Chain A
Amino acid sequence: MGANFSALFIDQDGLASASSSSVSLGDLPESCVASIIGYLDPPEICKLAKLNRAFRGASWADVVWESKLPPNYQILVDKILGFVPEKLGKRDIYTRLCRANTFDDGTKKVWLDKSTGGVCLLISSRGLRITGIDDRRYWNHIPTEESRFGSIAYLQQIWWFEVDGEVEFPFPAGTYSVFFRLQLGRASRRFGRQIRNSENVHGWDIKPVRFQLWTSDGQHATSQCTLSDPGEWFHYHVGDFNVDNSNSSMKIKLSMMQIDCTHTKGGLCLDSVVIYPSKFRERLKHKGFLKCA
C-alpha cells in the first residue's frame, strides 16, 4: 500500500546509513560543502581546498564557480580567449579569465579581479591616439617595467596636448570608473637604481587638464584636474559609466586634453587608460593612487 517512505532516503549521497550519534561535519556530502564554500570568495575557496579531499573536490564544483563568473561569461570567453574550450570546468574558465589576457594586437589587457569577479581593462599608450606621437620632439615610446605593457609614452613638450582612445567591450552589468594612469617626471635606471627626474616637468600648473568619456548609449562624464606631485604614478579619474545590459558590447570613447596654446607643457609619462569596477575607487583612494576624485 504505497511506497516505502524510507526508500526515498537511500540515494542521498550515502547519508542513509549515517547514524547521528556523533555528528561530524566531515560527514557532510561534497554537495553540502560546495554550498557552504560557495558563499566565500575565490581566494578563500582555494585556501580551504587544503583541508581534505572532500573540500578539494568541493572547490572544483561547477556550481560554486558558476556563481562567481559574470553572467555573460560565455561572451567574455569568446572575446578574450578567442576560442570556446570544450569540457572546460567553470573553475578553469574563472582561472583563465583572471589572468591578464592581452588582446587587440597587444594594445589591451583584460582580466577578472580574483576576489570579486569584476572586469578590469587596460588600454596601452600604444592603443591610444596621441596627437604628435610621430614627432620625436614631442613624444617618445620608452620601454619600462613600470607598465604592464612594457612601455610608456613620454611627453617631452608640446603645445597641443591631446590623447584620445576608444574601446568596445562586453562589460558585465555594473558601474565602472575610468582613469588615465599618469606620472609627472621621468623615471630611469642609472647604475641599477631608480632615478626620478622632474627637471622637465612644466606647464601643468597653468591650466588644468580636461578628461572626458562618452558611451555608445549616450552617457557622458567629464572632469578637470591639475596634474601635480611629480615622481609618482596616479590614476586620474575621468568619470564613471553604467552598463545595464551585459548582452551587448559597450563602446567607450575617452579623451584627455590641454590645448591652451599660450603655453607648452611637458615632462609627462602616460602609461595607460584603466577601467575598473567603481568600487575599486575606494581601494585606490586608500592607497593614495587616486587623483581627480
Chain B
Amino acid sequence: MSMAAVETKKITLRTADNHEFEVEEAIAMEFSTIKTFFDENPDASEDTIPLPNVTSKCLSAIIEYCKSHLAFRARETSSSIDEQVRTYDEEFVKARDNESLKELILAANYLNIKALLDMLNQAVADRIKNKSVEYVRRFFGLENDYTPEEEAAIRAENEWAFEGVDPDDD
C-alpha cells in the first residue's frame, strides 16, 4: 500500500462508545502509544485503531488540546505565546469537574501524551493541595484499605515530616 502523494494522512480512531474520529496524522502522533506503534510497524495498515479505554467525550477534548498545542508550537516562541499557552491550559482545566479531570488523566495516561498528562496532574495537585485527608479521599473515591496496625505504622513512618527541625521555632 503506497503512502505517496497523500497530503495529510488521516488516521481513524474508534472510542469505547463506538464513535469514530478521523484525525490528521500529526495529531495522532502526539499520542505516544500510537506513534510507537507506527514507528515499530511502518508498514502497518490498520484502518481503524480501537481505543477501548477512551470515551468519545474524552477523545474529542484530547484532540482539541493536541490541535491547539501543535498550532502554538508552530509559531515562533515568545513570552506572549507562552502566556497564551498558559491561558489555554488554565481554561482547558478550569471548566472541568473532578470526574472529567479523572477521565482525562486515565485517557492521557493510556494514550501516553506526556505534556497533557503533566498539565492534568499539576491541575489535580492544585485541587487537592492543602485540603484535608477526607476531602482528598472523596475526591479520588478511595476506600481506606489499612488495618489499624498498618495505620499506626503509617503514622510512625511519616512523623518526621511534621515535627522537629524548623527554621522558625526560635
Residues of A within 8 A of B (CB): 1-3, 5-6, 8-9, 12, 15-16, 18-20, 23-29, 32, 35-40, 42-53, 55-56, 59, 95, 98-100, 111, 113-114, 120, 181, 233, 235, 276, 280, 283-284, 287, 289
Q: What are the 3 closest A-B residue pairs judged by CB atoms, nearest first?
A: A39-B125, A2-B44, A46-B161
Q: Is the CB of B142 within 8 A of A48?
A: no
Q: Which of B136-170 contact A (CB under 8 A)?
A: 136-137, 139-146, 151, 154-155, 157-158, 160-162, 164-168, 170
Q: Which of B66-118 contact A (CB under 8 A)?
A: 99, 102-103, 105-106, 109-110, 117-118
- The answer to whether the Cβ of B43 comes within 8 Å of any Cβ in the partner chain is yes
Q: How far is the CA of A23 from the CA of B141 in the complex (A)?
A: 9
Q: Is the CB of A6 within 8 A of B45?
A: no
Q: Is the CB of B170 within 8 A of A289?
A: yes
Task: For B155, give the chain A residue with the smallest CB separation.
Answer: A50
Contacts of A52 in B (CB 8 A): 142-146
Q: How far is the CA of A56 from the CA of B144 in the complex (A)?
A: 11
Q: How many residues of B sit at the interface, in one of the four size bands? A: 35 or more
Binary A-proximity of B123-138 (CB < 8 A = 1, otherwise 0): 0111011100100110
Please give 12 more A-B residue pairs, beta carbons under 8 A apart, in addition to A39-B126, A44-B130.
A2-B41, A6-B50, A15-B106, A28-B140, A32-B121, A44-B129, A49-B157, A50-B151, A55-B142, A56-B154, A280-B167, A283-B168
Task: For A96, give the chain B residue with the smallest CB separation.
Answer: B160
13 of the cross-chain contacts (CB-CB < 8 Å) are: A3-B40, A5-B44, A15-B110, A16-B53, A25-B105, A35-B118, A43-B161, A50-B151, A51-B142, A52-B142, A52-B144, A284-B168, A287-B170
Partner of A5, one of B37, B109, B155, B165: B37
- The answer to whether the Cβ of B49 comes within 8 Å of any Cβ in the partner chain is yes
Give the distance to chain A from B107, nearest Cβ to Cβ, in Å: 8
Q: How far is the CA of A36 from the CA of B123 in the complex (A)?
A: 9
Total contacts A-B at CB 8 Å: 159
Q: Is the CB of A27 within 8 A of B125?
A: no
Partner of B45, one of A2, A45, A233: A2
Contacts of B124 in A (CB 8 A): 36
Partner of B133, one of A27, A37, A39, A47: A47
Task: For B109, give the chain A residue with the smallest CB separation.
Answer: A32
Main secondary structure of the interface of B (DSSP, over half): helix
- The answer to whether the Cβ of B16 comes within 8 Å of any Cβ in the partner chain is yes
Contacts of A55 in B (CB 8 A): 142
Q: How far is the CA of A90 from the CA of B136 in the complex (A)?
A: 25
Partner of A12, one of B110, B125, B142: B110
Contacts of A59 in B (CB 8 A): 158
Contacts of B125 in A (CB 8 A): 36-40
- The answer to whether the Cβ of B7 comes within 8 Å of any Cβ in the partner chain is no
Task: For B162, give the chain A residue with the smallest CB separation.
Answer: A43
Q: Which of B31-55 contact A (CB under 8 A)?
A: 33, 36-37, 40-41, 43-46, 49-50, 52-55
Q: Is the CB of A46 within 8 A of B162?
A: yes
Give the distance to chain B from A67, nearest Cβ to Cβ, in Å: 12
Q: Which of B1-40 contact A (CB under 8 A)?
A: 16, 33, 36-37, 40
Q: Is the CB of B168 within 8 A of A287?
A: yes
Q: How far is the CA of A5 from the CA of B33 in the complex (A)?
A: 9
Q: Is the CB of B41 within 8 A of A3?
A: yes
Give the distance to chain B from A218, nearest Cβ to Cβ, in Å: 28
For B103, B129, B136, B167, which residue has the most chain A Cβ atoms within 10 angstroms?
A: B167
Q: How far is the CA of A9 from the CA of B109 in the complex (A)?
A: 11
Known A-B contacts A44-B129, A283-B167; A53 and B145 likewise in contact (beta carbons under 8 Å): yes
Q: How far is the CA of A154 from the CA of B144 in the complex (A)?
A: 55
Q: How far is the CA of A115 from the CA of B150 in the complex (A)?
A: 25
Known A-B contacts A50-B151, A51-B136, A113-B167; A32 and B162 likewise in contact (beta carbons under 8 Å): no
Contacts of A48 in B (CB 8 A): 128, 133, 136
Contacts of B41 in A (CB 8 A): 2-3
Q: Is the CB of B158 within 8 A of A46?
A: yes
Give the distance to chain A from B104, nearest Cβ to Cβ, in Å: 10
Known A-B contacts A8-B36, A24-B140, A39-B122; A114 and B161 likewise in contact (beta carbons under 8 Å): yes
Q: Is the CB of B145 within 8 A of A25?
A: no
